[in-house]
Structure 1
Amino acid sequence: MSENSTQVQTKPKKLKFKNKNKELKVGTFFSGIGAFEHSLILNKIPHKIIFACDIDKFCKTNFLENYKLNEENWYNDINDMDGNKYLNKVDILVGGCPCQSFSIAGQRKGLDDLRGQLVFKYIKKIDEIKPNMFIFENVKGLLSSDKGNTFKLILEEMDKINYKIEFRTIKASKVGMPQSRERIFIIGTKKNKNIKSVFDNFKECELSLKLKDLLDSDYDENYIIKNHKWQKWVFDQKHLDKQKMKVNGDIIICQTARQYSSWFGNFVMEIKNCDDFTYSEDAVKSIERNKFIPLNYDKDEFELEYIKNNTIVRRLTPNECLRLMGFDTTKFKTIVSDSQTYKQCGNSIVVNMFNQILKAIDIPSIIS
């Protein structure tokens, strides 16, 4: 697979510390593949990763491959870590517990569910470590879980440990990434520190990228969907209408952890010669009905016969999914299987969200 020439661009945040040896000390829980750490790299912010924690062994593999961290400071479970070990050793603590409990797409068991209770373990770790700032991320559904009572309780618990709290929702498409993902961010700063509000200074940015800008110019034919049974599934009108499936378009639907294991998600139709590829009858009917236009199609009008004979439909590649989450694949390399990479992308935070948050933080003021 060749590397795509178009990478996710971000304007670096220029920082000048009075003491050149100063660096931002970072700790993360539910670290995944390090969206926050990757954002620090993209923004050229001097930093040191103090610890990271995630229960997924494949996340650990990719994290340690891509970031500077001794394995002894990696924790497989939040329950295994004594936060007092890192008391006053972390400037900024970042985490977002597994979001299935709060997602409006799920059953929203909320605080009665074990995953939901992880948020309180995260708050306990904040109290033990006492960072100058923490960031907590979750799905937008957290706001409405249990009629807002869950969110209210979380804010109350964060206030009890002496942090000033602010929050806002952020859309991926409003921070430069062509994806319909929306997340809630809670930021806390120590009440006894004079740290400026982050979200008062937060700015959205223009969406200049489209899906086609982040695609591989070359890829293995294994990603092409030749099986007519699966083509029928991808082009099923019910799936398309319910936004469980999307073919092409400028902005993709939200990536999920099960995006290809469940065969829901985003698919690409583009002009490409593939000798043993044919469309099923159902796929052709759907293409005609929806007037699907290939992403690299430069004709003035929809021509079914041309499209039918000169295009293919395929899954997104792992690298494409990484780029759609804001990762620069010249700087981040996945060394796990495709299925694990898809899962990691679906569980990750969009890097661009952190890019804009970091630009709004007065970083020298939170470095101890």
Structure 2
Amino acid sequence: MTLRYIELFAGIGGFRSALDALGGVCVFASEIDKYASQAYQALYNGAAELHGDITKIDAQDIPDHDVLVGGFPCQAFSVAGQRKGFEEARGTLFFEIARIAKTKRPRLMLLENVKGLLSHDGGKTFETMCAVLNDIGYAIDFRIVNSKHYGVPQNRERIFVVCDRDAEHEDWNVSGNDVGAKAKRRAQALGVRTFNFDWPENNEVTARLRDVLEAQVGEKYYLSEEKTAKLIAQLEERGQIAESDDCGMVGYVDGINGHDICRRVSTPTGVAPTIPTGSSGNTTPKIAEPYTVFQKTTSWTTTVKYDETGTLQAARLDKVPQVVTEEVRAVLTPERPEKRQNGRRFKEDGEESFTLTAQDKHGVAIGRYPRYRIRKLTPRECWRLQGFTDAQHDAVAAAGVSDSQRYKQAGNAVTVNVIHALGERLIPRLAELSETGNRLTPEKEAA
């Protein structure tokens, strides 16, 4: 069967990239940001189905669809916690999802938000959402899902809510006392209709940050010598230089002199932290790399002068500066463990090395090992961390979307790999309903 879906708060189409790959057809999308819309059009053949501000669109004008998907911005409900259900959500962007679902009655919904939604306002905001979804006729299930378990090296925890219009009530079997378990107990106490979704049970990390790094990047992505020296000094003082045979990235520093100078981009297992929304400038995750150090030394050179007959007229010894190179590398071969250097991306034999000159001041030498250059992740690397392809990123760059906007778009996106895994579980639910002849459009329900 063909999955017809709509994508709200579409961004750059993280849901769409995954669902289209599963045979889905997007019949409507909405995005208000002009740069995200520009990217969306570049990614999806002009995206004639893309519309603007969802608050200005009549629900009756939206095509019929099987699934509604969206990662909605989280806003505090004005009277959260007073159990007013559907009416309580008015004025929030979540209300737009509820408004459309109440009218169009899609069979399923897949919604995404930050993990903190579960505990926002003591849990009252999420409780209100659960009540609203129940009010408009949906059974719900939700889970915290981490992107690092789905083939990308990013520690990105997000809450996903699956809503099924026709599911029979099933109690949750809640165990543990983490934020997800606490939220489920609070939701059950509301008496809302719940069911048990067939969540993928991934719990292994299979990708490392080094898998997404570009071999060479432009100089504009590197920190200045002064900032690098200050950062390394802070890391060493705090004992936060990472030691990792797997990825060897620099440790974590947050809030030096009131500024987030460097975000840690790797745990000892080589997994990046969450790409921040609006990631650019000093808040962009950074990595440390090896480089070739040029050191000035001196040697004595003899200067001689002869006359036209070849007779020696004068001789002088001069100090002449010499430039010698010293490549700083990480060597992890078992036979040379004493040569291992921590805190940098590894270079393979034959790979072209970074070359610096003392005059250009592109790097910093601490005066002892290890030595680092530190750079931001590139926009393409951030898109890779969200499961987008290089071709997708490059198409958006070619459309004229700036570095800063592409950083922001990666931070705002959903991880494509996660949506693909969830989509594989959604489609069988639709297929089962279609086979039993229970698939209803709003018109059929009214009849």
With the shorter chain as reference, the TM-score category is: 0.7 to 0.9
User: 1:219 aligned to 217, 240, 248, which one?
Assistant: 217
Question: Which residue does 2:14 correspond to in 1?
Answer: 35
- Report the CA distance shift for 1:82/1:198 in structure 2 as closer, same or farther (over 3 A): farther
Q: Which amino acid aligns with 1:96?
A: G
Give distance in 2, aligned partners of 1:173 and 1:267.
18
Q: How many residues align?
A: 313
- Show CA shifts across 1:185-216 (max 9, x none): 1111112799xx67334221531110000011
Q: Does 1:60 align with 2:80?
A: no
- Report the CA distance shift for 1:127/1:186 in structure 2 as closer, same or farther (over 3 A): same
Would you say the 8 A contact 1:138–1:185 is kept in 2?
yes
- Report the CA distance shift for 1:346/1:235 in structure 2 as closer, same or farther (over 3 A): farther
Q: Which amino acid aligns with 2:162?
A: I
- Report the CA distance shift for 1:78/1:246 in structure 2 as closer, same or farther (over 3 A): same
- Show CA shifts across 1:80-100 (max 9, x none): 21121235x11111112224x
Q: Counterpart of 2:414 in 1: which secondary structure?
A: coil
User: 1:294 aligned to 338, 344, 348, which one?
Assistant: 344
- Report the CA distance shift for 1:225/1:242 in structure 2 as closer, same or farther (over 3 A): closer
Share of identical aligned residues, percent? 28
- Report the CA distance shift for 1:40/1:258 in structure 2 as closer, same or farther (over 3 A): same
Q: Does 1:351 align with 2:370?
A: no
1:1-368 aligned within 5 A:
22-41=1-20, 44-68=21-45, 70-71=47-48, 73-86=49-62, 89-99=64-74, 101=75, 110-112=76-78, 117-191=92-166, 199-229=197-227, 232=230, 236-237=234-235, 240-242=252-254, 245-246=263-264, 248-249=266-267, 250-261=270-281, 263-273=282-292, 292-296=342-346, 305=368, 307-308=370-371, 311-332=372-393, 333-335=395-397, 336-361=401-426, 362=428, 363-365=430-432
Give distance in 2, aligned partners of 1:356 and 1:61.
27
Q: Counterpart of 1:162 in 2: which secondary structure?
A: coil
- Report the CA distance shift for 1:156/1:345 in structure 2 as closer, same or farther (over 3 A): same
Unaligned 5+ segments in structure 1 are 1-21, 102-109, 277-290
Question: Which residue does 1:3 correspond to in 2?
Answer: none
- Report the CA distance shift for 1:205/1:326 in structure 2 as closer, same or farther (over 3 A): farther
Q: Counterpart of 1:121 in 2: which secondary structure?
A: helix
Answer with 1 or 2: which has the greater Rg.
2
Would you say the 8 A contact 1:248–1:266 is kept in 2?
no
Would you say the 8 A contact 1:224–1:313 is kept in 2?
yes
Give distance in 2, aligned partners of 1:116 and 1:254.
29
Q: TM-score, normalised by structure 2?
A: 0.63
- Report the CA distance shift for 1:221/1:241 in structure 2 as closer, same or farther (over 3 A): closer
Would you say the 8 A contact 2:266–2:273 is kept in 1?
no
The CA RMSD over aligned residues, in Å, is 3.3
Shift of 1:248: 4.6
Q: Counterpart of 1:95 in 2: which secondary structure?
A: strand
Shift of 1:235: 6.8
Give distance in 1, aligned partners of 2:228 and 2:78.
38
Give distance in 2, aligned partners of 1:364 and 1:79.
32
- Report the CA distance shift for 1:50/1:247 in structure 2 as closer, same or farther (over 3 A): closer
Shift of 1:115: 11
Give distance in 2, aligned partners of 1:172 and 1:192.
27
Give distance in 1, aligned partners of 2:205 and 2:148.
6
Would you say the 8 A contact 2:107–2:166 is kept in 1?
no
Give distance in 2, aligned partners of 1:175 and 1:324.
11
Question: Which residue does 1:4 correspond to in 2?
Answer: none
- Show CA shifts across 1:280-332 (max 9, x none): xxxxxxxxxxx852121689xxx974542xx5211111110000111122345
Unaligned 5+ segments in structure 2 are 80-88, 170-194, 239-250, 296-340, 350-365, 440-447
Q: Which has the higher contact order (CA 8 A, sep 6+)?
A: 1
